[in-house]
Amino acid sequence: MNLLELLGYFNYWVFAIILTVGLYAVINKNNLIKKLIGLSIFQSAVFLMYITMDKVEGGTAPIIQEGVEGQIFSNPLPQVLILTAIVVGVSTLALGLALVVRINECYGTIEENEILDAD
Amino acid sequence: MDLLAHLPALQVVVPMLSAPLIVLLQPRGLAWAGATASALVSFAIAVTLTLAVLDGQTLEYAMGGWPAPFGITLSVDALTALMLLIVTGASAIALLAAKPSIDQQIELERQPLFYSAWMLAMSGLVGIVVAADAFNIFVFMEISSLASYILIAGGPDRRALPAVFKYLMMGTIGATFYLIGVGLIYMMTGTLNMADMEARLGDVTDINPVLVAAGFITIGLALKAAVFPLHVWVPNAYTHAPHMVTVFLAACATKVALYVLIRFDYMIFQAALVDHQMQFALFAMPLAILGILVASAVAMFEGNLKRLLASSSIAQIGYILLGASFVSIAGLSASASHLFNHALAKGGLFLAVACLAYQYRDLRLSQLGGASKRMPWTCAAFVVCGLSLIGVPGTAGFISKWLLINAALQSGPWGWALVAIILVSSLMAVVYIWRIVEALYFQPPTEEGDVVAEAPLQLLIITGLVAILNIYFGLFPQVPLELANSAASLLWEGAQ
Amino acid sequence: MIFVFAVFLLTLLVITAIAIVRAKDLFVAVMLTSIFSLLMAANFFILDAADVALTEAAVGAGVTTVIFLCALSLTDDREKPREGSRWIAFSTVGLLALLIIYATFDKPRLGDPEAPVHQHVAPWYLEKTPEYIDIPNVVTAILGSFRGYDTLGEVFVVFAACIGVLFILGVSPARKTKEVPEKDSGLRHHLIPQVVGRLVIPFIVLFGLYVQFHGEYGPGGGFQAGAIIATGVILYALLEGEASALRAIPRSVLLGMVVGGALLYGGVGVACMLLGGSFLDYSVLAADPVVGQQLGILIIEAGVGMAVCGALLSIYHAFAARERLS
Amino acid sequence: MTAETAILMAIIVPLFGALAIVLAGRISPNLREAATAVTSISLIFVVWGLLPTIMDGGRPAIEVSELMPGISIAFKVEPLGMLFAALASGLWLINSIYSVGYMRGNKEKNQTRFFACFALALSATMGVAFAGNLFTLFLFYELLTLSTYPLVAHKGDAATVRSARIYLGVLLSTSIGLFLPAIIWTYSLAGTGDFVDGGILAGKLNDPEIGLLLGLFVFGIGKAAVMPMHKWLPAAMVAPTPVSALLHAVAVVKAGVFAITKIIVYVFGIDFLFDAPSSQWLLYVAAFTIIAASVVALRQTNIKRLLAYSTIAQLSYVIMAAAILKPLAEVGASLHMVAHAFGKITLFFAAGAIYVASKKTEVQQLRGIGRRMPWTMAAFTIGALSMIGVPPTGGFVSKWYILAGAFEANNLVAVFTIIASTVLNAAYFLPILYMAWFEREPAGGKEHGEAPFLAVLALCITAMLTLAFFLFNGPVIELESQVLSGVSE
Amino acid sequence: MIDLVLDILSWILLILGGACVLIGGIGGLRLPNFYARIHAASLTDTMGTILIFVGMMLQAGLSLATLKLFAIMLFLLLTGPTATYALANTALLSGLKPDAGSASDELEEDEPK
């Protein structure tokens, strides 16, 4: 297996690890902001997966220069999808943080267990 | 192109574009009027589309004129039409009734944002329903989710906030899982168009990623659809949301996710994953049965009215999944018709709850004494919808129960056991509905005494209307049944 | 060479992620998150995804961090230690990891030109873009036209986030600039940041505009531009203080930008319908379909830029205008 | 008015009656009572107007809506249903006269709800009587259960609500748990649920299952109060007496036995069932219920509960008669339906009248009450005699026919049961009569005279009917023979 | 010939720059207290920046890239010191006494406000 192939697997594994790290934070942390950070990590792992699959050996960014013949381009489609996904991610994050702020105002804490005790 | 050809796009665009406009509508009531108008328009569009597809044809619409699989296409078939009717109908009805209740629960200056969020939620759900492109579904799923977080966060007391946060967490995880699954499939097929996926998954040799993808998509959507073990966000979210929001979301939100799930499992994975029947029998059916029994049991001992109904919603989702898990035409049409009938029954119930909440601050059963005296019409409507939920003959609920039992009988050796389970759960439904009825009718009245103090007429009329619809579709269910049957046969062809 | 670098970056990525989760001080965690985003952006760049890299850098490292800090300043920035066992969580996520890694072994290897991903749809885009749309940046072509409907949806996601934050933080769009107490009057009494900031901000905005309108030719486009310009204005707010920033661009204007951007995009689509094409079919906008496409993309990118910029700024202000709860 | 519209009218009239009652109740009680009277009279006109058509062998039918292929809401009038409908509608008028007297005499609350639900229950009863297929039968059967629930729970205190819960629980769970599966089974076997002369299941089902399906039906129809599904009937006695009188002596319980008879005749088919040994158990269960219920009745001290258990026994008479599966017995069955209706409603009226006048509810309190309330007790006596089966009362006629049928089938179990139960009936009714007429009243009893006039009027009418039925039972036999002729050919 | 010289030169610059950055990093970790550390940090974003960018410009030769690199360098040279200033200033305002040689401020330095 050549270097590129190894790197391919390595990419996917890193994706898996980051995904799990993020999810772990979401599941196991009590602090709501920490949960949100974990969520954003979790999501960016998925971005990595998509972008990894768009790479073409010896390819360049899919921007067609005039008059240059026979270039290889990497796959533009996953990039488009991830552009969308990134913005979706940040939107969710903003909303979540707004909620956290309000929760902090109503409950005086942002630790989940304390909030549950409060009600 | 004539107007009819544009309808699939307009179905999404009308509510979507009305959202920003509504933000600008400041003066009192205008925002509500705008939202209602646009909801009614899109309901009309949905009806037109339904009439167009009743004869079993499928409408395709190529966004930007780019053909599938390169561009994004919308497709409307019988099942889609059914869902469109449910979503737009629920939204329109809820909005028509909403004004008094919303005025009570949300400050006037925040209302434009609220109604605009409502429009976004609706357009998101509609967008999911009509989309024929896997990634597009993700985008609109996010629109609807974000919007519904906003709607629920409008809830009166502070407990709404943690509920929304939990919903946001689980919803985002679900969406991201779905995204991973779609990514894996895209990786193996190189396409995002669902029909195209189905075609190309056939000749995928390395099955592992597809299996994992199926797992991710199923789990992700199950999270959004509140299928049994993943339902934990539902009770709080429904309980603490503004009452009209509960009407809208309980009627259609989870069902849309379930619809996508069924579509994926029947249309796309069927070709790739051999022995689908087994897969369903192993996973979906036990979950469905557990969900039905556990959630009903929880509802039997729940003290808060809205929470009780929320648990029953989880059980009803179980019914729909159960029907689908028979992997037979009969089962599918049972599911499809239950999608419709449960929306009707549960919508009506939550409308009645909204009426009650107008007079009663505290919605615990123990606090509702003498309601039948103070709000006789509301209670009558509640009883009718409750009977429909139980599945008493003559109401809409009975039709789908009957279909479901028939399907169970045909579903092989275990048929009788399934019938038994369905009947037992129906009896549980009798119990928890009757607990409410007794609370409403035979409990010593609270200090307000028994002067008639009904909810505002606007709210009341709509509630009564829905109750009547429950009976009407129990006696004349031809149209929804026709839709359900053609939808079922459609899915069935997809599965073969 | 480049691959060694990639491996290095990825390893760093993992380390950062773990560090973030372990960090008890949320401020540190947020800073690390920003670093994480930058590393991610670098990775994307190595993998030929210039646009995504730019977006991740602008949005992920820039805007996200700012919003996080705003939220932190309103809440507590220490995480309380958590008691109780974490084995459930560990086992769950471990299972998940194994599942994914199991899936990876049948995946086509990285960069394999024969992989199905590169076979079916993608080549069509690469080959048809010059013919139908004729702009160099294929990503922009797909984003704007081939999958323009997704992008429309995306704009509305941003819109939803904006009104959501406004709704939840209860800041009414109608109310005019709410008077901000003098205490957070920025860094007006710090000379050096003042001067440097004044010096830099115009260039940031200029660069933003460049990214906006150069999107057809190089990496960039509405989202990135919107984010960059937003960061410029946010910097201004930090230097001159909330109030003056709001005097410069009042809330109503920001909301107007959001609404306007969203409507502009949707309006283009409807216009296409009226002109006899299908929704978002820009070809009908001009006599020559190719010109029509380019025109359409230009307009909708502008709409996206407006919407994103306005939304991010409204969100920032919604957070910044809030009193800290003692 | 054609026969078809008449059928629909029979169901719609009480519905609108209920609405009218609710609205009128807002204005004044008298108006409400007037509405009730008008409704019941017009209902009688509608229903009895159908009688000639049926007598001439006409079988008007109408389909309202086809829900699913093969499953439709349809009505078809045949002699049994006609008989039942005529009975219920006729007695409703008398009963509403009585109710006015009773409810006012007792100053009950929620009278509007009471009369409205009563009308609803009647509408449901009409639906059951005219049902053209199993599904429609089930539909109105459930409707009847639900519309009578508020009547049972009328008083609304904790004990009442608890018994009402039993009432609803037993009836709903049996109907959903057993009746519905039986119906669905039938549909999946025969492909239809229509009531057809000679049955629809002939040849579709072989021996052991026949017994099973029959069991699902018999126990699923809890309203027939076949043991062990009888618990709800004593529980329902917490209801105001008019309810017990009309619903739990006539409409509801008769709906149960009527449904069973109809299913035996039109779904299984007499001959088909007669050839199936596995259906014999029904007879024994019925016989057991008769004896057991009578024995229990012996030991009751509360008048209404005693009457309830007697009702359980008498219902099983009808079922047993039907289960003998011989023409004469079938005639006896329907005769007994009518005879018992007249007799038992009289008894309940009397019990209610006693309660209104003297607030007495226990058997022991009846010493010498005959002097204070001669009319009431006379009627009570007639009813009791009819229960025992002494000529000249309706009860004698029906028992005669049933016995004849039993001998025809030389079914000694039935014969023995009838004789034994007659003895038992005598054993628990005669002491009451003796106490009422011949014993002295204990000193210091509170002074009271007759019950309100309307109540007394009503119970005298029904007593008269009981006597009259001894002589004028021609039409019933005529109708029944039509059923049998329809079956036998 | 000239290319070779340029190449060597640029590499030298790059390596030196790298060294500066490295030293800055080590200093940031090892130096006793906050103010000492920001000195090390400032080394990174002045000297390091200049050397590396000049090196890269030499690599790029005369082209648009060079111009861009120059712009970026300018930008960094503006922002870096400013950031350092702001940091120090905030530390001072938040009551952190510049007291060389003591590691006393470790605690507060963990949480910059």
Q: What is the DSSP string of D405-418?
A: HHHHTT-HHHHHHH
User: In terms of C-beta density within 10 A (0-12 exposed, 13-18 middle, 19 or more buried), how is residue B389 classed?
Assistant: buried
Distance of CA C94 to the CA centre of its chain: 31
How many CB atoms within 10 Å of residue C259? 24
D373 touches D367 (CB < 8 A)? no
C76: helix, strand or coil: coil
Residue A40 has pLDDT above 90, yes or no: yes
The per-residue pLDDT for C180 is 46
In the Cβ-directed half-sphere of A1, how many Cα atoms lie within 13 Å? 11
pLDDT at residue C83 tops 80: no
**CB of C315 closer than 8 Å to CB of C164:** no
B475/D64 touch (CB, cutoff 8 Å), yes or no: yes
**Chain A CB within 8 Å of residue B446 CB:** no
**Residue C315 is encoded by which pair of tokens?**
């969100």
Mutate which of A88, A103, A119 to disrupt the B interface (most B C-beta within 10 Å)?
Answer: A88
Q: Which helix (H) or strand (E) holds D74?
A: strand D71-76
C276 contacts in chain B (CB < 8 Å): 1
Measured between beta carbons, the chain C residues lying within 8 angstroms of B208 are 102-103, 105-106
CB contact under 8 A, B63 and C277: no
What pLDDT does C151 receive?
92
Q: Å from B225 to nearest chain A CA?
A: 19
Size of interface A-B (CB pairs under 8 A): 68
Q: Which of C48, C21, C38, C104 is nearest to A18 (CA)?
A: C21
Does residue B3 sit at the C interface (CB-CB below 8 Å)?
no
Q: Which two tokens stand for residue D384?
A: 């009791």
Start-to-end Cα distance in chain A: 57
The mean predicted confidence, pLDDT, of chain C is: 84
Q: Give the nearest partner residue to D184 out of B409, B430, B438, using CB atoms.
A: B409
Which tokens hold the place of C24? 């008890």
Q: Residue C157's closest chain B neighbor by CA?
A: B143
Interface check for B179 against chain A (CB to CB < 8 A): the answer is yes
CB-based touch C/B (3+ pairs, under 8 A): yes
Q: Is B361 on the interface with A (CB under 8 A)?
A: no
Residue range B447-480, pLDDT digits in tens: 655 566 778 888 899 999 999 999 999 888 888 8
Token pair for residue A10? Answer: 């390595």
Q: Which tokens is C258 given?
A: 């959001």
- Range of lowest pLDDT (B101-110, B130-139, C81-90, C216-225): C81-90
Of C138, C303, C301, which Cα lies nearest the Cα of C221?
C301
The CA-based angle D453-D456-D459, given to 5 degrees, is 150
Q: Are residues A98 and C167 in contact, defined by beta-carbon separation less than 8 angstroms?
A: no
Cβ pair A42:B173 closer than 8 A: yes
Cβ separation B190–C116 shorter than 8 A: yes
Q: Which residue of C has its CA nearest to E78?
A: C196
Q: Residues 14-53, chain E: which have Cβ within 8 Å of C?
A: none
pLDDT at D471: 81
Cα distance from D183 to chain B (closest Cα, Å)? Answer: 11
**Cβ neighbours of B149 in C, within 8 Å:** 164
**A99/B163 Cα distance (integer angstroms):** 10
Written as six digits, the tokens of A29 are 């942390």
Q: Which of D146, D164, D176 sits opposite B423 (nearest CB)?
A: D176
Q: Which of E40, B450, B180 is nearest to A52 (CA)?
A: B180
Q: List the single residue in B406, B426, B442 with the smallest CB-CB distance to D153.
A: B442
Beta bridge mates, D71: D68
Chains that touch E (3 or more CB pairs under 8 A): C
Report whether C164 contacts B145 (CB < 8 A): no
Residue C182: what pLDDT?
A: 47
Q: How confident is the model at residue C323 (pLDDT cuts 50, 70, 90)?
A: low
- Look at residue C279 and give its three-state secondary structure: coil
What is residue B447's predicted lDDT score, i.e. its pLDDT?
A: 63
Q: Which pair of structure tokens corresponds to residue E29?
A: 């970790």
Which pLDDT value is given to residue D197?
Answer: 79
Number of residues that make up chain D: 489
Please report residues of D whose CB lies closer than 8 A to that of B402: 68, 71, 184
Distance (Å) from the alpha carbon of C48 to chain A's nearest alpha carbon: 5
The pLDDT value given to residue B415: 79
8 Å CB contact between C137 and A82: no
pLDDT of E20 higher than 50: yes
pTM reported for the whole predicted model: 0.89
Q: List Cα–Cα distances, D406 to B251, D412, D418, in angstroms.
A: 59, 7, 9
Q: How many CB pairs under 8 A join C and E?
A: 23
CA–CA min distance B58, chain C (Å)? 18
Which residues of chain B neighbour C262 with C-beta distances below 8 Å? 17, 19-20
Residues 191-210 of B with CB under 8 A from A: 192
Nearest to D279 by CA among D338, D341, D207, D343: D207
User: Is the preceding peptide bond at B15 cis, omega within 30 degrees of 0?
Assistant: no
**CB of D262 within 8 A of CB of D319?**
no
Q: How far is A13 from chain C (nearest CA, A)?
A: 6
Residue ranges of chain B whose pLDDT lies below 70: 1, 270-282, 446-452, 496
Question: Would you say B337 and B481 are in contact if contact means Cβ atoms under 8 Å apart?
Answer: yes
Q: What does each C-alpha distance from D148 to D32, D180, D226, D247, D252 come to in angstroms?
A: 19, 20, 20, 8, 9
The predicted pLDDT at position C4 comes to 79
pLDDT at E98 over 80: no
Q: What is the largest CA-CA distance in chain A?
A: 68
Q: Which of residues 6-35 of C touch E (CB under 8 A)?
A: 25, 27
Encode pLDDT of C259-315 as tens digits.
999 999 999 999 998 888 888 888 888 888 889 998 999 999 999 999 999 999 999
Q: Given the structure tokens 């066992």, which residue do they identify?
A: C85
- Number of residues assigned to chain B: 496
Q: How far is CA B242 from each of CA B237, C88, C168, rounded to the nearest angstrom? A: 10, 34, 14
Q: Which of residues 42-71 of A touch C (CB under 8 A)?
A: 44, 47-48, 51-66
Taking only the tens place, the pLDDT of each residue in A5-20 is 666 678 888 888 999 9
How many Å apart are CA C276 and CA C283, to the nearest integer?
Answer: 10
| Residue located via tokens 């005598």 | D426
Show pLDDT as tens, one digit a residue, over chain D (489 residues): 677 888 888 888 988 988 888 888 888 888 888 888 889 899 988 888 888 888 887 788 888 888 777 788 888 888 888 888 888 888 888 888 888 888 877 777 778 888 888 888 889 999 998 988 888 999 899 888 888 888 888 877 778 888 888 888 888 888 888 888 888 888 888 878 888 877 788 777 777 778 888 888 888 888 888 878 888 888 888 888 888 887 777 788 888 888 888 888 888 887 788 777 777 788 888 889 999 999 888 888 888 888 888 888 888 888 888 888 777 888 888 888 888 888 888 888 888 888 888 888 888 888 888 888 888 888 889 989 888 888 888 888 888 888 888 888 888 888 888 889 889 888 888 888 888 888 887 776 667 777 778 888 888 888 888 888 888 777 777 777 777 665 443
Please report residues of B whose CB lies closer than 8 A to that of C281: 64-65
Across the interface, do B19 and C156 touch by the CB < 8 Å criterion?
yes
Contact B463, B97 (CB under 8 A): yes
Q: How far is CA D138 from CA B247, C230, D220, in A?
A: 31, 68, 11
Answer positive or negative: Cα dihedral of D384, D387, D389, D392. Answer: positive
Whether C178 shows a pLDDT value over 50: the answer reads no
Provide DSSP, B211-255.
HHHHHHHHHHHHHHHT-GGG-THHHHHHHHS-HHHHHHHHHHHHH
B chain contacts of residue A44, beta-carbon cutoff 8 Å: none
Query: Which residues contact residue A15 at a Cβ distance below 8 angstroms, ignoring those fewer than 6 apart?
Result: A45, A46, A48, A49, A52, C100
Of C43, C79, C143, the CB nearest to A31: C79
Whether D405 contacts D326, CB under 8 Å: yes
pLDDT digits (tens, 9 = 90+) for D98-136: 888 888 777 777 788 888 888 888 899 999 989 888 889
Helix %, strand %, coil % of chain B (to 5) = 80, 5, 20
| Cβ under 8 Å to C: E residues 69-108 | 75, 78-79, 82, 85-86, 89
Q: Which residues of chain C have a CB within 8 Å of the CB of B196?
A: 120
Which string of b and e fits A67-101 if b means at least 16 CB within 10 Å? eeeeeebbbbbbbbbbbbbbbbbbbbbbbbbbbbb
Contacts of C168 in chain A (CB under 8 A): 95, 98-99, 102
Confidence tier at E102 by pLDDT (50, 70, 90): low
Which of C156, C172, C272 to probe the B interface (max B CBs under 10 A)? C156
Assigned token pair, C217: 């030719």
